[in-house]
């Protein structure tokens, strides 16, 4: 399951004032909700897809030097740096997520021992894109949306970050990234290796119950 999401064990005391959460701590609350409600189902789904060569080809690509090189090159694009600067200006620390991805790729789990466990799910395809769609369909959307609304109501920093992601300034910065020839070339390379970035973005939105 660690291949899919970062497991968090966070708690809030209500008797006394607490320090404000940074954004990634709020994110981990959503991850924890997913883990505790449908974690086993997602894990079974993953093991099902591990039977498919198309899926494994993308998983293997994500651990290759070529993928890591592409990610480093992406981080150097001016348009990507503008995205990072904007997000960090709204207390969304991209370093946390980039480091998490790098750690996952470097220290990812060994699937082989459990690869033949019993399977309980039907699947919509055989590749990474189908897996992403099936994973999103498993998410507890109502509960995630309820948590999202609660955080918007109770956490000013989280609310400000979410409002920042709906602003015209953000839309312009994000659009500029997708107009960058360098970025589009990298997206094409990822797509050729089975990674549909638009689907990954949909998955991220779904984690917050906003799809």
pLDDT, tens digit (0-9, with 9 covering 90-100), for 18-77: 344 578 888 889 989 999 999 999 989 988 999 999 999 999 998 889 998 998 899 899
Q: Which of 58-72, 88-102, 174-188 has the lowest mean pLDDT?
A: 88-102
Token pair 């998955």 is found at: 203
Where are the alpha helices (H) located in the chain, listed in sequence order? 23-49, 53-61, 65-75, 78-89, 94-106, 128-138, 141-154, 156-164, 168-179, 181-192, 197-207
Please give the model's pTM, rounded to 2 decimal places. 0.80
Q: Give the range with max mean pLDDT: 10-14, 99-103, 147-151.
A: 147-151
Q: Is the dihedral of CA 88, 92, 97, 99 positive or negative?
A: positive
Q: What mean pLDDT comes out for the span 66-90?
A: 91
Mean pLDDT of the chain: 81
**Rounded (10°) CA dihedral 178, 193, 136, 30:** -70
Mean pLDDT of 131-138: 92
C-alpha torsion angle, residues 114, 116, 119, 125 (rounded to 10): 100
Q: How far apart are CA 2 and CA 32, in angstroms?
A: 12
Structure tokens at 160: 């400000």
DSSP label at 107?
A: S
| Greatest mean pLDDT range, 10-14, 67-71, 121-125, 126-130 | 126-130
Domain locations along the chain:
23-207
HSE-up of residue 30 (Cα within 13 Å, Cβ side): 24
């Amino acid at each position: 399951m660690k291949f899919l999401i970062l497991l968090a064990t966070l708690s809030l005391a209500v008797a006394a004032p607490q320090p404000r959460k940074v954004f990634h701590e709020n994110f981990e609350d959503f991850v924890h909700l997913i883990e505790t409600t449908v974690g086993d189902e997602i894990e079974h789904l993953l093991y099902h897809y591990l039977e498919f060569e198309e899926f494994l080809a993308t998983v293997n690509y994500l651990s290759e030097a070529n993928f890591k090189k592409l990610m480093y090159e992406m981080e150097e694009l001016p348009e990507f740096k503008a995205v990072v600067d904007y997000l960090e200006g709204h207390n969304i620390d991209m370093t946390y997520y980039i480091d998490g991805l790098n750690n996952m790729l470097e220290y990812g789990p060994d699937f082989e021992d459990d690869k033949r466990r019993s399977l309980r799910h039907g699947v919509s395809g055989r590749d990474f894109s189908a897996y992403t769609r099936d994973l999103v369909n498993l998410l507890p959307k109502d509960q995630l949306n309820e948590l999202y609304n609660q955080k918007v109501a109770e956490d000013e920093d989280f609310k400000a970050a979410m409002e920042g992601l709906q602003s015209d300034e953000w839309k312009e910065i994000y659009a500029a990234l997708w107009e960058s020839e360098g970025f589009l070339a990298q997206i094409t390379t990822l797509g050729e290796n089975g990674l549909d970035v638009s689907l990954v973005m949909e998955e991220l939105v779904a984690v917050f119950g906003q799809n």
